[in-house]
Structure 1
Amino acid sequence: MGDMFCLRSVLKMNLFLLLTLNALAEGSYQKRSAHSCPDLCSCSFAPSGAEVECSRSSLTVLPVGLPRNTTRLSIQSSNLSAITASHLSAVPLLTNLQLYHTSLDNLPSDLLKDVPHLNTLDLTGNRLVHLPPNVFHRTSLQSLVLKNNLIEKVDSEWFPHNSSLTWLDLSGNRLTSIPADLLQRLPHMRNLDLSDNNLQDLLNLDSLNHLHHLETLNLAGNKLTQLKATTFTHNLQLSQLFLQQNQIQELPENLLQGLQHLELLLLNQNQLQHLPAGLLDDRKSSFRVILSSNPWVCDEKLEYLWKWLTVHHHNVIFLEEVTCSAPEILKNRQVVSLTDNELSPKKKLDIITNE
């Protein structure tokens, strides 16, 4: 009996030692895994998670051996041509994914299924043309950048209803229109960038009505020729509005009505000849506007703008570049330097005639 008891004690002790050694080995492996760094990448480690950056042209596939606790992964200036959900499953704690200037031309619809914590995705400068439906459904994305790709059409099915997205950048693509129901799925949107596309008409874009939290809207570098008076009626939180480098010929008097938070308005490089009376009234003292590079016709119809510039010259950026394109006698004159008689020679003639 004594020998049996001793044998059992030895066996239990050996089992305990074996389990302890296995646990230590596993812990050591996890520690090495959490602090290893793939070739062609640089890594930094913090208690909150690892940050990995890979920027080599020789990189053609997602690196293996990424730290499992990676929270930020940046791959840029590489020849990465494909990425899959199985690649990202190696980094389940990922919150920020940046794939800049790679060779990606498509994304699988289930790409984000194993990174539920992802909130920022930046795909700037790739070769994306078409994206599959539901591609951004599986995460709580807050920021999505698709800048400088080859996208010709946006599919509202990319996003779930009531998406958590607050920042969307679609600038530098080939869009000619925005689906009517796309922005209806993005009620939390604060920053929307549609600049440098081929948008021609916003007259029927009533989906802007659903963006009650929108603060920044960039429509610069498109082919807009006009806007309807109610375009921004429901975007009362707008603080920055970029309309430069379009072909806008006239603006409705009530376009900015209700936009009490507007701080910056860019209207330069359009085809404006006059501004309607009242357009810029009731602005904050901190309000700034750029009006240069428009073909201003300096006649009696420009009287509103002339008076506004005279009183609010401190609100105008590049004031000296707001100049007359016509009539010939006033060409290149700064609008703010004009006199009442120069703007309304007919008024002067009537006064002389009446005398």
Structure 2
Amino acid sequence: MSKHWAAVVLVLIQLHCCDCCPDLCQCFSAAKVVCSDESMTALPVNISAQVRELIVVTSGVTLLNNCSFRENLRLTKLVVLNSLLKTVSRDAFERLLELQELEISGNYRLSFDVQTFSSLANLTRLLLNNNKISALDAGIFDSLHKLETLQLRGNVLAYLPSILFHRLHKLQELDLSFNHISSVSADVFQNNSLLRSLSLQANSISKIPAGIFTCLDHLEELNLRSNLISNLSAETFPSGLRKLILKKNALAQLPHNVFHKLHHITYLDLSQNQLSKVPSNLFQNLILLKKLDLSENRITALPGSVFNGLFSIKSIHLQKNKLSSLEVNLLKDQHDMEQLHLSMNSLQSIPHGFFDDLDFQCMVQLHGNPWRCDCGLQYFFNWLRYNEKNVEDLTRVYCEAPAVIRGHRLVSVDKEQLVCGKNSSSEFHGSSIPNVTEIPVDDDEGAIRCSLREVKGTASIQCKVTKCTSVTFEALFEFADGNKQESFISEWLAPAGCSNRTV
């Protein structure tokens, strides 16, 4: 076909669609009609028999009943979105026997009769979101034997009849989030064995009944975020879970075996709870876990073996806790990790060897900690020399102590400044670095700074000379019997041509 004739045919098709398209609507094809006008108070009745999808957005329609749809209409998809709809009568869909997808969302205080959906035997998707629905009769979904997706999010449901979903044997996705549900019965999901995704996010549930998820052998994703859950039992979750979200609840402690059956889980979110301790074997057997979020809890310390066996882990979030120290072997199995968030804790130092098992591509967050920039931080300081690009927001990593460099960025501190005072102990800072003592120097200009380090009975002095000057080293030995002996050790001469003049 030539380009000329193709253009003519296209124009004719468009003219034909314009002739049959209802007022206030657009016909994108013979099978799809979209209507959007606030002045529209009823659905158009002059819809072509060829139309399969009718989408009504932001209209003034307040009622759907038997007269809303012409006879012999073969719709497979109907959407009524963000309208003024208040009532859907029991006979509204009697003529839509081929309907497969129905969405009625974004309306106000919508109510349904228990028989409203009884004629929709072919329906596979039903979305009733953000309608301020306050109650649902027990048998309202009983005829929907083919239903696979049911969304009821953003309503004001406070109660779920225990048999509400019992006839939905093919249900795979159920969204009950953002309602006012305070409790659920143990058998509410007992006939939904094919369910793969279940969301109860943002309700007021305080207790998960024992056995409520027992029959959900195919459940892969469970979202319990933003509830009031304070306790969990060992048998709560089905073994097939891949994603579990418990964020923003009231969990203060967890049974050590609560997750042991979750051999397939890849994502676990425990953030924004009240956890202060984590059992050492809490994550045992989670060999496929890739992301673990423990942020925004009250954790003060972690057992050194708590992450053992997490060979697939890519991301661990521990920010905004109260961690004051870290075990040196905490990350021994995490060779392929990509993210480690330790920001906004109470860490003063990093134990020697802590980062040694991490891959060079792992990004680390460390800002917001009160770092003590003395001898106990030398391992971390040396690690940064080769891994500076792996620390996010490194310029926000500040020294809290000692007082002389408080507020300094760690990247601006010289290694020679990382010394410990006479009363400091490396053990106090959680480091295996030998004790280092700063040596006072009677030097008004501050040209010489020295420190004494003791390693297995051998003492060594390290000095930094910042100006052109000669230095004589002398040592005074005091023995256990009180005798003293002064001994000349060495002299360092300023190099030839050395000058303190400024240019």
TM-score of the superposition, structure 2-length normalised?
A: 0.60
Q: Which residue of structure 1 aligns with residue 240 of structure 2? A: 164
Indicate the residue corresponding to 1:278 in structure 2: 353
- Aligned equivalent of 2:283, options 208, 231, 247: 208
For the pair 1:193 / 2:269, whether they are aligned, the reply is yes
2:331–2:357 CA contact under 8 A, matched in 1: no
Any residues of structure 2 matched to 1:51-70 within 5 Å, and which? 51-61=126-136, 64=140, 68-70=145-147
Change (3 A) 1:252 1:38: closer
1:99 corresponds in structure 2 to 176
SS of structure 1 residue aligned to 2:164: helix
Structure 2 residue aligned with 1:32: 97
Q: 1:38 to 1:196 in 2, by over 3 A?
A: closer
Aligned to 1:308: 383
- Structure with the largest fraction of strand: 2
For residues 126 and 147 of structure 2, the distance between their equivalents in structure 1, rounded to whole angstroms, comes to 6
Aligned equivalent of 1:256, options 331, 346, 368: 331
Q: How many residue pairs are counted as aligned between the two chains? A: 323
Are residues 1:236 and 2:311 paired? yes
Residue 315 of structure 1 deviates from its aligned partner by 0.6
Partner of 2:409: 334
**Aligned partners of 1:331, 1:153: CA distance in 2, in Å?**
43
Q: Distance in 1 between matches of 2:299 and 2:101?
A: 52
Q: 1:181 and 2:257 equivalent?
A: yes
**Distance change (3 Å), C-alpha of 1:285 and 1:36:** closer
Partner of 1:13: none
Q: Is the 8 A contact 2:252 2:273 kept in 1?
A: yes
Q: CA 1:76 to 1:101, structure 2 compared with 1: closer, same or farther past 3 Å?
A: same
Q: 1:127, 1:33 → 2: CA distance?
A: 38
CA positional deviation for 1:90: 4.4
Structure 1 position 93, deviation (Å) = 1.9
Q: Choose between structure 1 and 2 for higher RCO, CA contacts under 8 A separated by at least 6 residues.
A: 1
Matched, 1:145 2:223: yes
Cα deviation digits, residues 315-340 of structure 1 (max 9, x gap): 11111111111112211211112112
Structure-2 separation of matches of 1:104 and 1:228: 37
| CA pair 148-93 structure 1, distance change in 2 beyond 3 A | same
Q: Secondary structure at the match of 1:313?
A: helix
* Secondary structure, counterpart of 2:260 in structure 1: helix
Structure with greater proportional helix content: 1
> Does the Cα contact within 8 Å between 2:166 and 2:188 map onto a contact in 1?
no
Q: Name the structure 2 match of 1:23.
A: none
Determine the structure 1 residue equivalent to 2:299: 224
Query: Taking structure 1 as the reference length, what is the TM-score of the superposition?
Result: 0.83
Alpha-carbon distance in 1 for matches of 2:95, 2:258: 43
SS for the counterpart of 2:282 is helix
Task: Answer whether contact 1:85 1:114 (CA < 8 A) is retained.
Answer: no
Could you say which residue in structure 2 is the equivalent of 1:83? 160
Greater Rg, structure 1 or structure 2? 2
Q: Distance in 2 between matches of 1:221 and 1:80?
A: 30
Closer, same or farther: CA 58–143 of 1 in aligned 2, 3 Å: closer
Partner of 2:86: none
Code of the aligned partner of 1:198: Q
- Worse overlay, 268-277 or 309-318: 309-318
Q: Distance in 1 between matches of 2:247 and 2:462?
A: 53
Query: Are the counterparts in 1 of residues 126 and 149 from structure 2 also a CA contact under 8 Å?
Result: yes
Q: Give the aligned CA root-mean-square deviation in angstroms.
A: 2.7
Deviation of 1:36 after TM superposition, in Å, equals 7.2
Q: Distance in 1 between matches of 2:333 and 2:263?
A: 20
What secondary structure, in the 3-state scheme, does the structure 2 residue paired with 1:54 have?
A: coil
1:106 and 1:129 in contact (8 A); partners too: yes
Secondary structure of the residue aligned to 1:306 is: helix
Structure 2 match to 1:19: none
Q: Which residue does 1:74 correspond to in 2?
A: 151
Q: Partner amino acid for 1:283?
A: L
Tell whether the 8 Å contact from 1:33 to 1:68 is kept in structure 2 after alignment. Answer: no
